[in-house]
Structure 1
Amino acid sequence: MTAGSTGSIRTDIAHNARVWNYWLGGKDNYPVDRAVGDQVVSMYPSIGEVARADRAFLGRAVTYLAGEAGVRQFLDIGTGLPTADNTHEVAQRIAPGSRVVYVDNDPIVLAHARALLTGSAEGVTEYIDADAHHPDRILAAIEPTLDLSRPVAVMMLGILNFVLDTDEARSIVRTLMAAMPSGSHLVLTHPTLELGGEGNAEAMEFWNKNATPPITARSREEIASFLDGLEILEPGIVSCASWRSPAPRELAQFGAVARKP
């Protein structure tokens, strides 16, 4: 063990999973995470609201998928630290037999995996240690927990923004969705400098100098390119706080759900 680390967990530099946890009001974070988180808030005051809206979007999207769309399998990539209403909790509340696989490669998330793995007796909840940059490895690891002959909802909330090259991000999505059968869905959220997010540029620059992993924003057009070949569900690519929301509002975080024909 080296100074500034707990096992393989770095405590000397802010990390996204822990800062996001801090913004959501969680306790799984260190002083460095809170310091960077507070600085980002001072530069971009709505970031905490974005974090909460992203989580609420997850709830609405999974509620639709497990309910009206009848999806019973979920692949949640870039899990983050567990908070209230994780994917398996929402899905299995509606359909107790839902099968959920979480994917992350963050040591602190791995350390909390046991909390994620308490699902319904009828369903299955698994966790795999894998990197979103390697979709083929993810696909190799999810069977037989997920049956790729039946529809799967691929959840990629706030994860493609850590893939800095847009062509690589497109390739990751294409590889994942090519392996999924008709009736599968892709669920995305992604930060943007549109939707009033211009002030986020300075905060992102600060983040990239003081925290890990580095992040990038993308435009609506770039987000749309991730959904090529899929049927984008209403209301389209919108603020995640406005997607089928009872209280729609503009936040600089796109949200979208699309179906594979």
Structure 2
Amino acid sequence: MNNLVKQILAMVAGGLIVIGAFHVSGVSAQLQDSQTDTVAPAEADATLVSYEPVFQYQGQLLSPTTGQPVADGTYPITFRLYQELNGTQESFWGQQMSVPVTSGIFSVVLGGAAGSPIPYSAFDGRQLYLGVQVGSDPEMTPRQPIYPIPYAMNARFFNGLTTSDFVPIRRGPVAYGIVNADGSRQRGFRFSSGRSSFFGEYAITIRDANDNPINYNLNDYVTQVTVVESDECRGGSFATTGSGNGNLLIDIYRADGSQRECKFHFITFQP
């Protein structure tokens, strides 16, 4: 039984449209036996590496007249953070970038440019919204809400307190690794993988230290997926994550929204 839920978010202005998709579905797949051919992540103590407060944003630029991806090229895009969904309140952070776009798809890391750091204190639990402006067009509406992943950046400082004031933290990734385009497991840590020939989804079974399957629920874990571009997988791709039958489900799409087979990396955390 396949349960499919899709939500399309669009930001519209006078010139272009930015669109993204979220996908949750159920799937049954034949999984390979897991192997632990990658060493476990090192346990962390109270001395932590200092990371820049950055986060990744992906989107697709579409023409408002044709609904098709814009021409390939580099576009000037300004990103801003607000505390209001609408209104005239000024943004408290902004960054202008020259963004490469292929088949309408782009991916940027926000907050990483010199002179444009995002304050750690911004992610203190308040609701924030991202505004996007392409070139001289008006900023697109509505602004997009920022969901929990960037808020974790504030965890290192606990609103000003240093982590050395607390007990050591000993939690790393739950699972991570590389999955081949056919769904087979290349290498990694605590997972087995497969691909449904009927639905086309990749199914990842997360496993514990005893190689027992863990019930993966989209609301309890955070997963980052990176699609590997190759001769067989070119022209821009994006991935969505979901859960079903206790598995992590990953779909990979072309710019036109059709499914495709691509090799990818993933890493899963439990907050």
TM-score (norm 1): 0.23
Comparing both chains, which one has the higher relative contact order based on Cα–Cα distances under 8 Å and sequence gaps of 6 or more?
2
TM-score (norm 2): 0.22
Q: Greater strand share, 1 or 2?
A: 2
Larger Rg: 2
